[in-house]
Structure 1
């Protein structure tokens, strides 16, 4: 969970989906749930991540929740890891879990991804898995998202771009299809190039790799693109709790 947006008592058509915008939902959920992986676990995309990190990389994970991704990265030799989540419950439980597992080097902080509390050019790699998707829950028409949705997404991306080192990499693991995400990623505010790969069988997940300072003057092309479903996953990805749960079928300064 990475944003402090609230529902303000509205009665939405899809209450379960819009609940993801309410921090209280995540506090209650994390108080009962020990571990859950959105968009499959690390083993399914490990090879994609490993192509962009080394043992010397400083990594920031946005919206860590109760995922084990930071632990898996640590096992792969990446020890300079900072995780953030908006939920104080998630942060406290993650801190305790890592302490008892002897992984005290991993830093876990309560923070909003829309207002990253870090200095400029702190991290080599920033990773998010399903966290940015929450911002699109109430986006309206996916071809023409609401201005407030775009404003929040841009705030997040500008923060990520700012905290990345000059040659840093942002990795976004999502259901968002390229024809919806590329116009945002390619906004003139950013200097990164945009590439993507897909993984998954029944459902296809997208792994976007944005390399800061590598933007070309021509339109970027994907490094690999597999056949995608004909229906619009972007619009349906967070429309209901049951659908989302079927996805997994198998210090502040640098």
Structure 2
């Protein structure tokens, strides 16, 4: 597998995590960086995503950046894809790259995930990979995040819930552990059920599958259903990469 990370001379890692909240940081980064995959590439999630898709599924990717996830979805037969990003640089680069490969059906647009510009119930699946984690970089106490952080998180989730069809699915791939994310996903505003799994061995990422309209009345107090997926070895260099420095609440990792 080709290395998708920038060379040391092209490093785009910010000096502080709070820089991830600055839109100008992303514009500058995407002007230098051709591609980068947070939390591994599509091949590692294909077995989780594909059971929830058909060739006619409409898919929204939040914070596409310069990821090639939409390429993989398209090659697997899902062509009704919309990618959004806050960075106009990322959007322009993504459009040019997709057109150069003949992926003319994929729509790419500049948009804010806090204010999704789409009609109600128009997507079968919404997916994000590391995008929501940006909202938590200065959240403070992980057990009691700052009000401004929660306001942004809830705006995002309410928007996702709104644009999902009645039986739509939201897939969130994240560093966020269940004891922090479950209370948010299980807020009374939402009707989705929550399933989660991990991948990795020494170190874990978390994948949440939220199914709209399938939440039971007692789910917020019952253990969340888990399902198993194959694991892979996490290389030492992965722990030293930007993905690891991006980890939110690292002190809670082994709690």
TM more than 0.5 = yes
- CA drift at 1:241: 4.9
Task: Tell me which residue corresponds to 2:215.
Answer: 215
Equivalent-residue separation in structure 2 for 1:118 and 1:242 (angstroms) = 30
Deviations 1:160-193 (A, max 9, x none): 0000001100000001000000000000000000
Pair 1:203–1:180, CA change in 2 (3 A)? same
Q: Aligned to 1:170, what secondary structure does the other structure show?
A: strand
Task: Tell me which residue corresponds to 2:193.
Answer: 193
Can you give the 5+ residue segments of structure 1 that lack an aligned partner in the other structure? Answer: 1-13, 227-239, 247-254
CA contact (8 A) 1:57 1:124 kept: yes
- Tell me if 1:130 matches 2:133: no
- CA drift at 1:245: 7.1
Equivalent-residue separation in structure 2 for 1:41 and 1:68 (angstroms) = 7
Equivalent-residue separation in structure 1 for 2:148 and 2:135 (angstroms) = 10
With 59-68 and 192-201 compared, the bigger mean Cα shift is at 192-201
TM-score, normalised to structure 2, is 0.83
**Aligned pairs (5 A) from 1:1-254:** 15-219=15-219, 220=222, 221-224=224-227, 241=242, 243-244=244-245
Pair 1:242–1:212, CA change in 2 (3 A)? closer
Equivalent-residue separation in structure 2 for 1:241 and 1:26 (angstroms) = 14
CA contact (8 A) 2:192 2:210 kept: yes
- CA drift at 1:123: 0.2
Pair 1:103–1:119, CA change in 2 (3 A)? same
Deviations 1:30-53 (A, max 9, x none): 000000000011111110011211
Equivalent-residue separation in structure 2 for 1:225 and 1:47 (angstroms) = 11
> Which structure features the higher share of helix residues?
2
Structure showing greater relative contact order (alpha-carbon pairs closer than 8 Å, 6 or more residues apart): 1
CA contact (8 A) 1:88 1:110 kept: yes
Can you give the 5+ residue segments of structure 2 that lack an aligned partner in the other structure? Answer: 1-13, 230-240, 248-255
Measured on the aligned residues, the alpha-carbon RMSD in Å equals: 1.8
Equivalent-residue separation in structure 1 for 2:244 and 2:170 (angstroms) = 27
With 180-189 and 216-225 compared, the bigger mean Cα shift is at 216-225
